[in-house]
Amino acid sequence: MKKKLLAVLLATGVAATTLLGGSILVSAADDGGNTAQARTLDEIKEDGKIKIGVFSDKNPFGYVDENGDVQGYDVYFGKRLAKDLLGSEDDVEFTYVEAASRVEYLQSAKVDVILANFTVTDDRAEKVDFALPYMKVALGVVSPDDALITDVKDLEGKKLIVVKGTTAETYFTDNYPDIELVKFDEYQEAYDALLDGRGDAFSTDNTEVLAWAQQNEGFSVGIESLGDIDTIAPAVQKGNTDLLNAINDEIKSLADEQFFHADFEETLKPVYGDNIDPEDLVVEGGVVDSEDAEDAEEADTTDADAADDTEEAETTEEPEETEAADAE
């Protein structure tokens, strides 16, 4: 059976790496980005396996543990999606992807779904179809404690590590073109570069750098939130409407049991402890609470008001000092 499966995988340009229980893990070969027709939901059900692209090196969202098993927040959801669509959480074939290859893997139909911490952007939405979100993030910057970066201005004249194809790369390229970016294909390469000093700091989703800093003594996240609050969502090939609708229905129905809070408790809580409130990260039912944007706006207004009050107080105090001096 395994030999037959291996032959099929190789014939389609996919190299098998290992079999874990009923779940198949594969590493897809790059075929140059040729577009192929995505499988419909009916075809996936007929095959009995759903192909989901995940990260293998982005702990705690998609990674391979010490036993060689794929784990993480995205993986936990992928298994539940397979169970509800096909009958068992083992009915999933996980394919390892890199950040820059996520769009191409959908366009070439190497996977049916991407669950690889895929941030929704306008540019990506022109190339793939995003389902409802299940997480929200901003950017963060991690650096050594003895040269901690606490403001973007601190990056002037320094090297910032980013992973190709991420929102961090786009954000700094568009907004801070003078900052030197050191780019890598994989997250593990990026972290290795930070550890051995090939860059002064590393920027990616704040949820990830916070987790990594907790696991690596001597490093801290000096900038915990940068840029807009973005959302993470599943993605399918453009036009694969039936599969997209099925995933949206799944996300909506899972809200009844607060599934993504359970996902957080199982996969993220052991890493973050009490340092991150799940409400700052989790999205249930595909509905993003607008409080984040409102809080940010209120904070700006409060800061401005506080500055005005301070200025007004200083202006008011000066005449009092003058009056006191005159009285003396």
Domain spans of the chain?
A: 2-134+233-286, 138-230
pLDDT at 325: 33
Asked if the 2-134+233-286 domain carries CATH number 3.30.70.260, the reply is no
- Tell me how crowded residue 84 is: count the other CB atoms within 10 A of its CB: 15
pLDDT at 35: 78
**Average pLDDT, consecutive stretches of 10 residues, N- to C-terminus, the chain (328 residues):** 39 39 43 70 97 95 95 98 97 96 96 97 96 96 97 96 95 96 96 97 94 94 93 97 98 98 96 88 90 43 41 42 36
- The encoded tokens of residue 176 equal 């801070």
pLDDT at 9: 37
**SS3 state of residue 63:** strand
* DSSP class per residue in 218-270: TEEEEEEEEEEEEEE--EEETT-HHHHHHHHHHHHHHGGGTHHHHHIIIIIHH
pLDDT at 197: 96
**Closest by alpha carbon to 128, among 245, 230, 236?**
236
DSSP code at position 279 = G
Is residue 82 within 8 A of residue 50, CB to CB? The reply is yes
pTM: 0.73
pLDDT at 10: 36
Is residue 210 within 8 A of residue 140, CB to CB? The reply is yes
Q: Kindly list the strands in the beta sheet with 235-237, ordered across the sheet, starting from the edge strand earlier in the chain.
A: 14-20, 23-28, 92-96, 50-54, 113-114, 235-237, 128-130
Q: Which CATH architecture has domain 138-230?
A: 3-Layer(aba) Sandwich (3.40)
pLDDT at 178: 95
Do the two domains 2-134+233-286 and 138-230 of this chain adopt the same fold? yes
Sign of CA pseudo-dihedral 246, 121, 255, 109 = positive
User: What angle in degrees, to the nearest 10, is found between the helix axes of 73-86 and 241-254?
Assistant: 110
| Torsion angles phi and psi, residue 50, rounded to 5 | -110, 135
pLDDT at 290: 56
pLDDT at 291: 54
